[in-house]
Amino acid sequence: MELKRVVVTGLGAVTPLGNDVDTTWTNLVNGVSGAATIKKFDASNFRTQFGCEVKNFDPNEYFDRKDARKYDLFTQYALVAADQAVKDCGMDLDTVNHDRIGVIWGAGIGGMTTIQEAVTEYATGDGTPRFNPFFIPKLIADIAAGHISIRYGFRGPNYATVAACASSNVAIADAFNYIRLGKSDAIVTGGSEAALCESGLGGFVSMKALSTRNESPETASRPFSKSRDGFVMGEGGVCLILEEYEHAKKRGAKIYAEVVGAGLTADAHHMTAPHPEGLGAANVMREAIEDAGIKPDDIDYVNVHGTSTPLGDIAEVKAIQSVFGEHAFDINISSTKSMTGHMLGAAGAMEALASVLALKNGIVPPTINHADDDVDENFDPRLNFTFNKAQKREIKYALSNTFGFGGHNASVIFKKA
Protein backbone atom coordinates (compact mmCIF):
# COMPACT_ATOMS: atom_id res chain seq x y z
CA MET A 1 0.00 0.00 0.00
CA GLU A 2 1.03 3.58 -0.54
CA LEU A 3 1.95 5.24 2.75
CA LYS A 4 0.54 8.67 3.56
CA ARG A 5 2.79 11.63 4.27
CA VAL A 6 2.78 12.96 7.84
CA VAL A 7 3.46 16.56 8.89
CA VAL A 8 3.67 18.57 12.10
CA THR A 9 1.00 21.27 12.22
CA GLY A 10 0.81 22.29 15.88
CA LEU A 11 3.13 22.70 18.86
CA GLY A 12 2.65 23.29 22.58
CA ALA A 13 5.08 23.39 25.50
CA VAL A 14 5.32 23.71 29.27
CA THR A 15 9.02 23.30 30.08
CA PRO A 16 11.75 24.38 32.51
CA LEU A 17 12.61 27.09 29.96
CA GLY A 18 9.13 28.54 29.52
CA ASN A 19 5.42 27.83 29.62
CA ASP A 20 4.91 28.24 25.89
CA VAL A 21 6.72 27.35 22.67
CA ASP A 22 8.17 30.77 21.85
CA THR A 23 9.73 31.31 25.28
CA THR A 24 11.11 27.79 25.36
CA TRP A 25 12.67 28.13 21.90
CA THR A 26 14.15 31.57 22.62
CA ASN A 27 15.83 30.26 25.77
CA LEU A 28 17.09 27.16 23.96
CA VAL A 29 18.73 29.25 21.24
CA ASN A 30 20.21 31.62 23.83
CA GLY A 31 21.70 28.78 25.88
CA VAL A 32 19.71 29.45 29.06
CA SER A 33 19.84 26.84 31.80
CA GLY A 34 16.58 25.81 33.45
CA ALA A 35 18.33 24.35 36.51
CA ALA A 36 18.11 25.80 40.02
CA THR A 37 17.73 24.75 43.63
CA ILE A 38 14.44 22.86 44.06
CA LYS A 39 11.60 25.01 45.40
CA LYS A 40 8.69 22.54 45.45
CA PHE A 41 9.92 20.79 48.59
CA ASP A 42 12.82 20.88 51.00
CA ALA A 43 15.62 18.99 49.27
CA SER A 44 18.35 20.09 51.67
CA ASN A 45 18.84 16.57 53.07
CA PHE A 46 19.33 15.01 49.64
CA ARG A 47 22.71 14.51 47.99
CA THR A 48 21.28 16.34 44.96
CA GLN A 49 19.29 19.45 45.81
CA PHE A 50 18.45 20.92 42.41
CA GLY A 51 16.55 20.21 39.23
CA CYS A 52 14.95 21.78 36.17
CA GLU A 53 11.52 22.70 37.49
CA VAL A 54 8.68 24.25 35.49
CA LYS A 55 8.42 27.82 36.79
CA ASN A 56 5.47 30.11 37.52
CA PHE A 57 2.93 27.42 36.67
CA ASP A 58 -0.38 28.09 38.40
CA PRO A 59 -2.99 25.38 37.72
CA ASN A 60 -5.75 27.83 38.62
CA GLU A 61 -4.90 29.85 35.51
CA TYR A 62 -5.89 26.87 33.37
CA PHE A 63 -8.41 24.82 35.36
CA ASP A 64 -11.12 25.55 37.87
CA ARG A 65 -10.18 24.48 41.38
CA LYS A 66 -12.42 21.42 41.34
CA ASP A 67 -10.95 20.05 38.10
CA ALA A 68 -7.36 20.83 39.11
CA ARG A 69 -7.75 18.50 42.10
CA LYS A 70 -8.57 15.63 39.72
CA TYR A 71 -5.33 15.97 37.74
CA ASP A 72 -1.84 15.02 38.76
CA LEU A 73 0.73 17.61 37.73
CA PHE A 74 1.89 15.48 34.78
CA THR A 75 -1.67 15.56 33.44
CA GLN A 76 -1.94 19.30 34.00
CA TYR A 77 1.22 19.83 31.96
CA ALA A 78 -0.18 17.54 29.25
CA LEU A 79 -3.52 19.35 29.03
CA VAL A 80 -1.95 22.81 28.87
CA ALA A 81 0.59 21.77 26.20
CA ALA A 82 -2.14 20.02 24.20
CA ASP A 83 -4.40 23.07 24.40
CA GLN A 84 -1.61 25.25 22.99
CA ALA A 85 -0.92 22.78 20.17
CA VAL A 86 -4.57 22.29 19.21
CA LYS A 87 -5.02 26.06 19.01
CA ASP A 88 -1.76 26.44 17.12
CA CYS A 89 -2.72 23.91 14.45
CA GLY A 90 -5.82 25.94 13.58
CA MET A 91 -8.08 22.94 13.08
CA ASP A 92 -11.81 23.68 13.03
CA LEU A 93 -13.05 21.33 15.74
CA ASP A 94 -16.65 21.79 14.61
CA THR A 95 -16.02 20.29 11.17
CA VAL A 96 -13.26 17.68 11.55
CA ASN A 97 -14.08 13.99 11.91
CA HIS A 98 -13.48 13.32 15.61
CA ASP A 99 -13.47 9.56 14.95
CA ARG A 100 -10.32 10.06 12.84
CA ILE A 101 -8.32 12.00 15.43
CA GLY A 102 -6.51 10.22 18.25
CA VAL A 103 -4.25 10.85 21.23
CA ILE A 104 -1.04 8.89 21.83
CA TRP A 105 0.83 10.26 24.82
CA GLY A 106 4.08 9.24 26.51
CA ALA A 107 4.80 9.12 30.22
CA GLY A 108 7.65 7.23 31.80
CA ILE A 109 6.25 7.18 35.33
CA GLY A 110 2.88 8.95 35.54
CA GLY A 111 1.47 10.41 38.73
CA MET A 112 4.42 10.05 41.09
CA THR A 113 3.53 13.25 42.94
CA THR A 114 0.05 11.84 43.63
CA ILE A 115 1.59 8.65 45.04
CA GLN A 116 4.04 10.67 47.13
CA GLU A 117 1.30 12.82 48.66
CA ALA A 118 -1.15 10.00 49.34
CA VAL A 119 1.36 7.63 50.92
CA THR A 120 2.88 10.43 53.02
CA GLU A 121 -0.56 11.39 54.30
CA TYR A 122 -1.35 7.78 55.22
CA ALA A 123 2.04 7.12 56.84
CA THR A 124 1.90 10.26 59.00
CA GLY A 125 -1.79 9.93 59.94
CA ASP A 126 -3.54 7.90 62.60
CA GLY A 127 -3.56 4.74 60.51
CA THR A 128 -7.09 5.22 59.18
CA PRO A 129 -7.12 4.78 55.37
CA ARG A 130 -8.42 8.01 53.81
CA PHE A 131 -7.33 7.67 50.22
CA ASN A 132 -8.85 10.11 47.77
CA PRO A 133 -11.29 8.49 45.28
CA PHE A 134 -9.22 10.14 42.51
CA PHE A 135 -6.00 8.51 43.75
CA ILE A 136 -5.85 5.75 41.11
CA PRO A 137 -7.28 7.78 38.18
CA LYS A 138 -4.74 10.53 38.92
CA LEU A 139 -1.64 8.34 38.99
CA ILE A 140 -2.08 5.91 36.08
CA ALA A 141 0.24 6.72 33.17
CA ASP A 142 -2.50 6.59 30.51
CA ILE A 143 -4.75 9.17 32.15
CA ALA A 144 -3.23 12.21 30.40
CA ALA A 145 -4.12 10.71 27.01
CA GLY A 146 -7.60 9.99 28.30
CA HIS A 147 -8.18 13.51 29.57
CA ILE A 148 -6.95 15.08 26.32
CA SER A 149 -9.37 12.96 24.30
CA ILE A 150 -12.24 13.75 26.67
CA ARG A 151 -11.56 17.47 26.46
CA TYR A 152 -11.77 17.59 22.66
CA GLY A 153 -13.97 14.58 21.94
CA PHE A 154 -11.25 12.86 19.90
CA ARG A 155 -12.41 9.27 19.45
CA GLY A 156 -9.51 7.81 17.48
CA PRO A 157 -6.67 5.69 18.90
CA ASN A 158 -6.11 6.59 22.55
CA TYR A 159 -3.38 5.19 24.76
CA ALA A 160 -0.12 5.86 26.56
CA THR A 161 3.34 4.66 25.64
CA VAL A 162 5.61 3.73 28.56
CA ALA A 163 9.24 3.14 27.62
CA ALA A 164 11.03 5.06 30.38
CA CYS A 165 12.89 8.04 28.92
CA ALA A 166 12.05 6.97 25.36
CA SER A 167 8.29 7.09 26.06
CA SER A 168 7.31 10.19 24.09
CA ASN A 169 9.53 9.33 21.12
CA VAL A 170 7.70 5.99 20.99
CA ALA A 171 4.41 7.93 21.13
CA ILE A 172 5.49 10.08 18.17
CA ALA A 173 6.60 7.00 16.23
CA ASP A 174 3.25 5.28 16.86
CA ALA A 175 1.31 8.40 15.88
CA PHE A 176 3.38 8.64 12.68
CA ASN A 177 2.56 5.03 11.83
CA TYR A 178 -1.20 5.32 12.49
CA ILE A 179 -1.43 8.29 10.16
CA ARG A 180 0.78 7.02 7.35
CA LEU A 181 -1.14 3.73 7.34
CA GLY A 182 -4.32 5.73 6.75
CA LYS A 183 -5.93 4.84 10.08
CA SER A 184 -6.12 8.42 11.39
CA ASP A 185 -6.21 11.95 9.97
CA ALA A 186 -4.39 13.48 12.94
CA ILE A 187 -2.91 12.46 16.29
CA VAL A 188 -2.25 14.60 19.34
CA THR A 189 1.07 13.25 20.59
CA GLY A 190 3.95 14.08 22.88
CA GLY A 191 4.63 13.43 26.54
CA SER A 192 4.67 14.79 30.06
CA GLU A 193 6.30 14.05 33.39
CA ALA A 194 6.26 15.50 36.90
CA ALA A 195 8.47 13.25 39.00
CA LEU A 196 10.33 16.02 40.81
CA CYS A 197 9.14 15.08 44.29
CA GLU A 198 10.86 13.53 47.32
CA SER A 199 10.52 9.94 46.14
CA GLY A 200 11.43 10.72 42.55
CA LEU A 201 14.54 12.65 43.50
CA GLY A 202 15.46 10.16 46.20
CA GLY A 203 15.17 7.21 43.86
CA PHE A 204 17.48 8.68 41.24
CA VAL A 205 19.90 9.90 43.93
CA SER A 206 20.17 6.39 45.35
CA MET A 207 21.08 5.11 41.88
CA LYS A 208 23.86 7.71 41.72
CA ALA A 209 22.41 8.81 38.39
CA LEU A 210 22.20 12.54 39.19
CA SER A 211 24.75 15.31 39.23
CA THR A 212 25.64 16.52 42.72
CA ARG A 213 26.89 19.94 41.64
CA ASN A 214 24.75 21.72 44.26
CA GLU A 215 26.99 24.78 44.35
CA SER A 216 26.30 25.51 40.68
CA PRO A 217 23.05 23.92 39.47
CA GLU A 218 22.91 25.94 36.25
CA THR A 219 26.19 24.39 35.06
CA ALA A 220 25.50 20.85 36.29
CA SER A 221 24.18 19.37 33.05
CA ARG A 222 27.28 19.29 30.87
CA PRO A 223 26.99 16.58 28.22
CA PHE A 224 30.23 15.44 26.57
CA SER A 225 32.42 17.35 29.02
CA LYS A 226 35.02 15.38 31.00
CA SER A 227 33.69 16.58 34.36
CA ARG A 228 30.08 15.46 33.77
CA ASP A 229 28.79 13.61 36.81
CA GLY A 230 25.18 12.69 36.05
CA PHE A 231 21.94 14.07 34.69
CA VAL A 232 19.68 16.79 36.08
CA MET A 233 16.02 15.91 36.63
CA GLY A 234 13.53 17.93 34.64
CA GLU A 235 9.76 18.03 34.20
CA GLY A 236 7.09 19.41 31.89
CA GLY A 237 4.91 18.55 28.93
CA VAL A 238 5.31 19.02 25.16
CA CYS A 239 2.73 18.35 22.46
CA LEU A 240 2.93 17.94 18.68
CA ILE A 241 -0.03 17.66 16.33
CA LEU A 242 0.82 15.15 13.61
CA GLU A 243 -1.47 15.28 10.59
CA GLU A 244 -1.84 13.55 7.26
CA TYR A 245 -0.35 15.85 4.62
CA GLU A 246 -3.36 16.08 2.26
CA HIS A 247 -5.69 16.65 5.22
CA ALA A 248 -3.48 19.50 6.40
CA LYS A 249 -3.05 20.92 2.91
CA LYS A 250 -6.78 20.88 2.23
CA ARG A 251 -7.51 23.07 5.22
CA GLY A 252 -4.57 25.40 4.55
CA ALA A 253 -2.63 24.47 7.68
CA LYS A 254 0.83 25.83 8.36
CA ILE A 255 3.38 23.02 8.32
CA TYR A 256 6.38 23.08 10.64
CA ALA A 257 8.11 19.96 9.33
CA GLU A 258 7.48 16.50 7.93
CA VAL A 259 7.96 13.27 9.87
CA VAL A 260 9.70 10.81 7.55
CA GLY A 261 11.11 7.95 9.61
CA ALA A 262 11.13 6.23 12.98
CA GLY A 263 12.94 3.33 14.61
CA LEU A 264 12.48 1.30 17.80
CA THR A 265 15.04 -1.17 19.17
CA ALA A 266 16.28 -2.70 22.41
CA ASP A 267 19.77 -2.93 23.89
CA ALA A 268 18.91 -6.31 25.51
CA HIS A 269 21.90 -5.62 27.76
CA HIS A 270 21.28 -4.14 31.23
CA MET A 271 18.51 -2.74 33.41
CA THR A 272 19.91 0.80 33.53
CA ALA A 273 23.27 0.97 31.73
CA PRO A 274 23.56 1.44 27.96
CA HIS A 275 25.26 -1.12 25.78
CA PRO A 276 28.94 -0.08 26.07
CA GLU A 277 29.40 0.00 22.30
CA GLY A 278 26.06 1.71 21.70
CA LEU A 279 24.74 -1.30 19.79
CA GLY A 280 21.01 -0.63 20.32
CA ALA A 281 21.49 3.09 19.71
CA ALA A 282 23.27 2.44 16.42
CA ASN A 283 20.61 -0.04 15.36
CA VAL A 284 17.75 2.35 16.06
CA MET A 285 19.34 5.19 14.09
CA ARG A 286 19.95 2.87 11.15
CA GLU A 287 16.37 1.65 11.33
CA ALA A 288 14.98 5.21 11.33
CA ILE A 289 17.20 6.22 8.40
CA GLU A 290 16.14 3.17 6.40
CA ASP A 291 12.50 3.83 7.24
CA ALA A 292 12.88 7.39 5.95
CA GLY A 293 14.30 6.13 2.67
CA ILE A 294 17.38 8.32 2.96
CA LYS A 295 21.12 7.83 3.44
CA PRO A 296 23.12 8.51 6.63
CA ASP A 297 24.87 11.36 4.79
CA ASP A 298 21.52 13.15 4.43
CA ILE A 299 21.27 13.85 8.18
CA ASP A 300 22.42 17.35 9.11
CA TYR A 301 21.57 17.51 12.82
CA VAL A 302 21.29 14.94 15.60
CA ASN A 303 19.53 16.00 18.78
CA VAL A 304 21.14 13.42 21.01
CA HIS A 305 19.85 11.72 24.13
CA GLY A 306 22.96 13.28 25.71
CA THR A 307 22.06 13.05 29.39
CA SER A 308 25.45 14.10 30.81
CA THR A 309 26.17 10.69 32.36
CA PRO A 310 29.70 9.25 32.16
CA LEU A 311 28.67 6.03 30.36
CA GLY A 312 25.64 7.19 28.35
CA ASP A 313 27.36 9.98 26.45
CA ILE A 314 30.24 7.71 25.40
CA ALA A 315 27.93 4.94 24.19
CA GLU A 316 25.82 7.34 22.11
CA VAL A 317 28.81 8.93 20.43
CA LYS A 318 30.19 5.48 19.58
CA ALA A 319 26.84 4.70 18.00
CA ILE A 320 26.83 7.94 15.99
CA GLN A 321 30.31 7.29 14.62
CA SER A 322 29.36 3.70 13.80
CA VAL A 323 26.29 4.82 11.82
CA PHE A 324 27.65 7.92 10.10
CA GLY A 325 31.35 7.19 9.67
CA GLU A 326 33.23 10.19 8.30
CA HIS A 327 29.94 12.09 7.88
CA ALA A 328 29.73 12.26 11.67
CA PHE A 329 32.22 15.13 11.49
CA ASP A 330 29.89 17.13 9.23
CA ILE A 331 26.85 16.77 11.47
CA ASN A 332 25.79 19.21 14.16
CA ILE A 333 25.27 17.31 17.40
CA SER A 334 23.63 18.94 20.40
CA SER A 335 22.06 17.99 23.70
CA THR A 336 19.24 20.30 24.71
CA LYS A 337 19.16 18.43 28.04
CA SER A 338 22.06 20.68 28.97
CA MET A 339 19.35 23.36 29.33
CA THR A 340 16.07 21.55 30.03
CA GLY A 341 17.49 18.79 32.16
CA HIS A 342 16.20 15.27 31.61
CA MET A 343 12.42 15.51 31.32
CA LEU A 344 12.12 11.70 31.49
CA GLY A 345 8.91 10.62 29.72
CA ALA A 346 8.61 14.08 28.17
CA ALA A 347 12.20 14.15 26.88
CA GLY A 348 11.46 12.79 23.40
CA ALA A 349 8.69 15.32 22.83
CA MET A 350 10.84 18.18 24.09
CA GLU A 351 13.66 17.18 21.77
CA ALA A 352 11.28 16.64 18.86
CA LEU A 353 10.13 20.24 19.40
CA ALA A 354 13.77 21.40 19.37
CA SER A 355 14.46 19.41 16.20
CA VAL A 356 11.37 20.71 14.39
CA LEU A 357 12.14 24.34 15.25
CA ALA A 358 15.80 23.87 14.32
CA LEU A 359 14.65 22.76 10.86
CA LYS A 360 12.16 25.59 10.55
CA ASN A 361 14.52 28.34 11.70
CA GLY A 362 17.87 27.04 10.45
CA ILE A 363 19.39 27.23 13.92
CA VAL A 364 20.96 24.42 15.95
CA PRO A 365 20.49 24.92 19.72
CA PRO A 366 23.72 24.56 21.70
CA THR A 367 25.11 22.10 24.21
CA ILE A 368 25.92 24.45 27.06
CA ASN A 369 28.30 24.32 30.05
CA HIS A 370 31.41 23.18 28.20
CA ALA A 371 34.83 24.66 28.99
CA ASP A 372 37.92 24.47 26.78
CA ASP A 373 39.87 22.83 29.61
CA ASP A 374 37.16 20.20 30.17
CA VAL A 375 37.66 18.08 27.06
CA ASP A 376 36.90 14.37 27.27
CA GLU A 377 39.56 12.42 25.38
CA ASN A 378 36.96 9.73 24.60
CA PHE A 379 35.51 12.01 21.91
CA ASP A 380 37.13 12.79 18.57
CA PRO A 381 37.88 16.54 18.47
CA ARG A 382 36.50 16.70 14.94
CA LEU A 383 32.96 16.11 16.23
CA ASN A 384 30.82 19.23 16.37
CA PHE A 385 28.87 19.17 19.65
CA THR A 386 27.61 22.74 19.07
CA PHE A 387 29.20 23.76 22.35
CA ASN A 388 27.91 26.85 24.18
CA LYS A 389 26.50 28.84 21.24
CA ALA A 390 23.74 28.12 18.76
CA GLN A 391 24.89 27.72 15.17
CA LYS A 392 23.07 28.81 12.03
CA ARG A 393 22.78 26.07 9.49
CA GLU A 394 20.47 25.00 6.70
CA ILE A 395 19.05 21.72 7.95
CA LYS A 396 17.15 19.35 5.67
CA TYR A 397 16.93 16.32 7.96
CA ALA A 398 17.13 16.17 11.76
CA LEU A 399 17.28 12.99 13.82
CA SER A 400 16.16 12.89 17.47
CA ASN A 401 17.34 10.12 19.83
CA THR A 402 15.93 8.93 23.14
CA PHE A 403 17.02 5.94 25.20
CA GLY A 404 15.42 4.60 28.38
CA PHE A 405 16.07 2.33 31.34
CA GLY A 406 15.36 -1.23 30.29
CA GLY A 407 17.28 -0.71 27.06
CA HIS A 408 14.49 1.02 25.13
CA ASN A 409 15.69 3.03 22.12
CA ALA A 410 13.63 5.29 19.86
CA SER A 411 14.69 7.59 17.02
CA VAL A 412 12.52 9.87 14.89
CA ILE A 413 13.57 11.74 11.73
CA PHE A 414 12.07 15.08 10.68
CA LYS A 415 12.44 16.75 7.29
CA LYS A 416 12.33 20.46 6.54
CA ALA A 417 8.89 21.48 5.27
Kindly name the residue from 147, 342, 370, 408 that is annotated as catalytic: 342
Work out the end-to-end distance of the chain between its first and last CA atoms, rounded to an integer number of angstroms. Answer: 24
The number of helices, as runs of H, and strands, as runs of E, in the chain is 13, 14
- Alpha-carbon distance 79 to 180, whole Å? 25
Is 342 among the catalytic positions? yes
Kindly name the residue from 52, 165, 197, 239 that is annotated as catalytic: 165
β 6-14/257-266 pair status:
antiparallel
Kindly name the residue from 147, 247, 275, 305 that is annotated as catalytic: 305
Is 270 among the catalytic positions? no
Q: Element (H or E) spanning 160, and its range?
A: strand 158-161
- Alpha-carbon distance 262 to 292, whole Å? 7
- Alpha-carbon distance 168 to 82, whole Å? 14
Which are the catalytic amino acids? 165, 305, 342
